[in-house]
Amino acid sequence: MFTGIISGSGTLTEQHGSRVVIETPHKPERVEEGASFACDGCCLTVVEIGKGKGGGSVLEFDLSNETLDLTTLGSWRVGQKINLERALALGEELGGHIVTGHVDGRAKIVSRTPDGDSVRFELEAPSELACFIAVKGSIALDGVSLTVNEVDASRFGVNIIPYTLGHTTLGDRQPGDLVNLEVDLLARYVARLGQHEGR
């Protein structure tokens, strides 16, 4: 489980088929093989650990075909920045919302508009996921927990504050870009209950 509160950014340094190598700010002695990291919102398992520059770690992950099909990870390029979040430990603060790291699909950024010091994004979700997106509900984009401001069919809007713009990769995202989308887990269960009651 994750919260959608990004704990740092990593850099993709190598890519060999389904194996990716990410340099992170996390100290290697505090990471174990088998640990879970949300990488741009996608839950991945650490398979190898090495020492990076400046006391950080170099972590290796394997990507499944399912991950490559449903997420943006297949389009990653060496040198790009990646949002990172370590798995939530029992007793830690839940600052965002419950995020599983199981990406549902990709959303496309339709527009990016300044809104004071913040930026307002309009995005288009896959039609099959639109029913899980609600005004004032939670959503995760590239692993970042956000509140939905408005919804119109499969399009929805979010407002990104300056802190988030500066501390995540969302600050670099432009119209036409695809981002990993995870809908709210509770919305999935509510929709399922509604289907069951309708029978």
Asked whether the beta carbons of 184 and 132 are under 8 A apart, the reply is yes
For position 199, what pLDDT does the model report? 57
pLDDT, tens digit (0-9, with 9 covering 90-100), for 76-119: 999 999 999 999 877 677 778 889 999 999 999 999 999 999 99
Helical segments of 72-198, H only = 162-167, 185-197
pTM: predicted TM-score of the whole model, two decimal places: 0.92
Instruction: Give the separation between CA 157 and CA 165, rounded to whole angstroms.
Output: 15
- Please provide the CATH number assigned to the domain covering 105-197: 2.40.30.20
β-bridge mates for residue 124, sequence order: 108, 155
128 pLDDT more than 70: yes
For position 81, what pLDDT does the model report? 97
Whether domain 8-86 has CATH 1.20.140.10: the reply is no
Would you call 34 exposed, middle or buried from its count of C-beta atoms within 10 A (0-12, 13-18, 19+)?
exposed
| Ranges assigned E (strand) in the chain | 8-16, 19-24, 36-39, 42-51, 57-62, 81-86, 105-115, 118-124, 138-141, 144-152, 155-160, 178-183
Question: SS3 of 111, please?
Answer: strand
Mean pLDDT rounded to a whole number for the chain: 92
For position 151, what pLDDT does the model report? 97
Give every CB contact of residue 125 below 8 A, 6+ residues apart in sequence: 105, 107, 133, 154, 155, 156, 181
196 pLDDT more than 60: no
What's the distance, Cα to Cα, between the start and end of the chain in Å? 32
Residue 197 pLDDT grade (very low, low, confident, very high; cuts 50, 70, 90): low
Residues of the chain with CATH 2.40.30.20: 8-86, 105-197
pLDDT, tens digit (0-9, with 9 covering 90-100), for 14-67: 998 899 999 999 999 999 999 999 999 999 999 999 998 888 999 999 999 999
Instruction: Give the separation between CA 139 and CA 99, rounded to whole angstroms.
Output: 9
Please compute the mean of the pLDDT values over residues 168-188 and round it to a whole number.
Answer: 94
Instruction: At 113, give phi and psi (nearest 5°).
Output: -130, 130
Higher per-residue confidence, 191 vs 110: 110
For position 19, what pLDDT does the model report? 95
